[in-house]
Structure 1
Amino acid sequence: MTTIAAYADAPSLAGTDLGWSEWLEVTQDRVNLFADATDDHQWIHVDPARAASGPFGAPIAHGFLSLSLTVKFWSELFDLEGVTTKVNYGLDKVRFVSPVKVGARVRMNAVIAEVTEVAGGYQFAVDQTIEIEGGSKPAIVARGLYRFYA
């Protein structure tokens, strides 16, 4: 469910747990498209037959593909009304904890850790955890930085 807040309320949002996004299946087609977009065609991603006998027993998503899903999940979880521009400003501390096998389902939890005023708007530091359905450890933990300008 999307949390919608007003721009004027931004400073009070620090500490807000936005809950979990919807589940998303990571398909081989998505992995192949990412491989084409980034020219990273390593066999552990794009060769299911060879990957089956590899270290993970199946093809896995690129770490940066899994990380890029934070954009989709973030937009599912939060919207700030009354802004003219929304920017993915960057990332602090990213860890690829567990590989995401093709066919797995993932989702993200987001907690707004900090809200700071910047010229013309606010910056949100958001603690993000992408989990794998049935997994014992998360796929990714990261702190995303998002800016909202009025």
Structure 2
Amino acid sequence: MRTLNGIDEITSLVGTELGSSEWTTIDQDAINTFADVTDDHQWIHIDEERAAEGPYGATIVHGFFTLSLIPKFSSEIFTIEGVSIRVNYGLNKVRFAQPVPVGSRLRGTVSVNEVIPGDKGTQVILKHVIEIEGQERPACIAEVVTLLVE
């Protein structure tokens, strides 16, 4: 894991890939749990028999489940020191580039896109690419905005 020491170091890393997380497998139990927590029980995610006959040949991971893995993947890639507060500030862009079939292995890769100083703190825009093992196209690409206060 990489330690980023303060805003100046992060600023010096604009355009730099910070690294990739470990691969993690998404099984049907995890998909079902996410469906229960979010009350999103669409058949394409939880009905294994119907999904087997559907367009993807199996259930698929919720897009928002894939997106929700960003904190897990980030914690495996980097940590930030030298700031008093680090909070989620929002998302600029999110695209689900392709479906994620049950049993897929995913990992995240993070790059520093931009650093924007402001009155409330410094916005750090990180590009997260969530890959599917063995696939060329990623599952998700997202620009995550984190607010840092020194």
- Structure-1-length-normalised TM-score: 0.93
1:104 is displaced (CA, Å) by 0.3
1:4 and 1:80 in contact (8 A); partners too: yes
What SS does the corresponding residue of 1:102 show, helix, strand or coil? coil
Residue 59 of structure 2 corresponds to 59
* Cα separation, 2, equivalents of 1:109 and 1:89: 20
SS in 2 for 1:98: coil
Aligned length: 149
CA shift, 1:45, in A, is 0.4
Does the CA contact (< 8 Å) of 1:84 and 1:149 recur in 2? yes
Structure 1 stretches of 5 or more lacking a match? none
- The Cα RMSD (Å) is 1.3
CA distance in 2, matches of 1:118, 1:79: 22
- Whether contact under 8 Å (1:13, 1:115) holds in the other structure is no
Q: Which runs of 5+ in 2 are unaligned?
A: none
Identity of aligned residues (%): 49
Contact 1:10 / 1:122 at 8 angstroms: preserved in 2? Answer: no
Asked if 1:96 corresponds to 2:85, the answer is: no
Which TM-score applies when normalising by structure 2? Answer: 0.93
Asked if 2 retains the 8 angstrom alpha-carbon contact of 1:123 and 1:148, the reply is yes
Q: Give the structure 1 partner of residue 2 of structure 2.
A: 3
CA distance in 2 between partners of 1:65 and 1:73 (Å): 13
Paired amino acid for 1:129: V
Correspondence for 1:112? 112
- The structure 1 segments of at least 4 consecutive aligned residues displaced by more than 6 Å after TM superposition are none
Write out per-residue CA displacement over residues 102-126 of structure 1, whole angstroms, 9 at most, x where no aligned residue.
Answer: 1000001111011111235321111
Deviation at 1:128, TM superposition (A): 1.3
Match of 1:55, SS state, is: coil
Instruction: Return the offset for 1:98.
Output: 0.6
- 1:29 aligned residue: 29
In structure 2, what is the Cα distance between the partners aligned to 1:12 and 1:126? 13
Equivalent residue letter for 1:73: F
